[in-house]
Amino acid sequence: MIKVTGTAAAIAGLVAALASAQTPAPQQTPAAPQPAPAATPVPVPPAPAVAAPAPASPGLTLPVAAPVLRLVDPPVISVETLPADNPFATAVDAPAMPPVKPVTADLVIPTSLFAAIRVDPKGKAVAVRRARDPIPSLTAQTQNSLSRWTFEPGKKAGQPADAWASVRLDLAAEIDSPKIEQFLVTPITAATPIPRPIEWGTDAAWLESVKPGAPAEGTLPVEQLDTPAVPKKQPWSSSSYKGPFLVKFWIQINGSGRVEKSIPIQASDPVLIAYFRKAMETWLFRPARAGAAAVATWNELTLSGQIDFSTDLKLTATLRQSL
């Protein structure tokens, strides 16, 4: 004999209640003897409705299903090796040659200079730091102009503060057609070392990557100001440069002799990258040949000589980000 107690008794009661809730089968009444009727299909009775489970009694605790655990394989890191040969190299029978007469022209190249300027409570510029300068050949003239700017000082809690201002200067660089003294095209071979390119991307990408250091003692960064310092007077000296230049690119010359891709490797002034990329669009090289076919190849292009350019200030913007 099994003794039912506690939770087992409650479960047994729940089973008995479910059994008693079903409709009992009807009693059969003996029928008078009659001739056997012809066989007819026997209807199938509908399935009995399933009674809803009775609510759990206060003393009944139903078991809780354990969470399903998923087995996750650890990530597998593949091991790669650098190629022994330069992947830019192409085996050819005759290398690419420079244009017979490369043409350059006078161009205006828009560019931007970013600077951090320390502004005292009286609105005077007391320190200047060029955070991103596309024309370092004009450093002295740029510093001289910015140091003479005056500002409406930044404010903290309603009072003028000794703080930093971040500004973007939109410039127009007027570049005269340079005198090219060296135009050298060198094929990239399997033994050519891969240089580090110039990291001069877009202004937006550069701003996202800026990680400014702590401000000088006693000064506030622009993010902590209620209102930033705003330029009032912006004198701009006649900034011009005349002297030597040097640029290097890795360029891909296609089978038609046109430059399809370029990677800047060196530039005396980053603004010249945009200038010479525009000039390359008009140049026609003699493509490299493999057998009788013209093929695309990578080459190092070196240009040097004398150049003359000047800059004009077009617009100034105040930023709410430390530089």
The 3-state secondary structure of the chain reads: CCCCCHHHHHHHHHHHHHHHCCCCCCCCCCCCCCCCCCCCCCCCCCCCCCCCCCCCCCCCCCCCCCCCCCCCCCCCCCCCCCCCCCCCCCCCCECCECCCCCCCCCEEEEEEEEEEEEECCCCEEEEEEEEECCCHHHHHHHHHHHHCCEEECCEECCEECCEEEEEEEEEEEEECCCEEEEEEEEECCCCCCCCCCCCCCCHHHHHHHCCCCCCCCCCECHHHCCECCEEEECCCCCEEEEEEEEEEEEEEECCCCCEEEEEEEEECCCHHHHHHHHHHCCCCCECEEECCEEECEEEEEEEEEEEEEEEEEEEEEEECCCC
Domain limits for position 118: 107-319
299 vs 252: CA distance, rounded Å: 6
Q: What angle do CA 44, 45, 46 make, to 5 degrees?
A: 115
Residues of the chain with pLDDT under 70: 1-69, 71, 80, 82
How many domains, the chain?
1
Look at residue 42 and tell me if it is in a domain.
no
The predicted structure's pLDDT at residue 199: 87
Look at residue 67 and tell me if it is in a domain.
no
The predicted structure's pLDDT at residue 134: 96
Look at residue 81 and tell me if it is in a domain.
no
The predicted structure's pLDDT at residue 76: 76
The predicted structure's pLDDT at residue 66: 66
Look at residue 123 and tell me if it is in a domain.
yes
For residue 323, which of 234, 185, 228 has the smallest C-alpha distance?
A: 228
Look at residue 34 and tell me if it is in a domain.
no
Look at residue 157 and tell me if it is in a domain.
yes
Look at residue 72 and tell me if it is in a domain.
no
The predicted structure's pLDDT at residue 238: 72
What predicted TM-score, i.e. pTM, was given to this entire model? Answer: 0.72
| Cα distances (angstroms) measured from residue 79 to each of 100, 193, 234 | 47, 23, 56
The predicted structure's pLDDT at residue 113: 97
Look at residue 293 and tell me if it is in a domain.
yes
The predicted structure's pLDDT at residue 60: 53
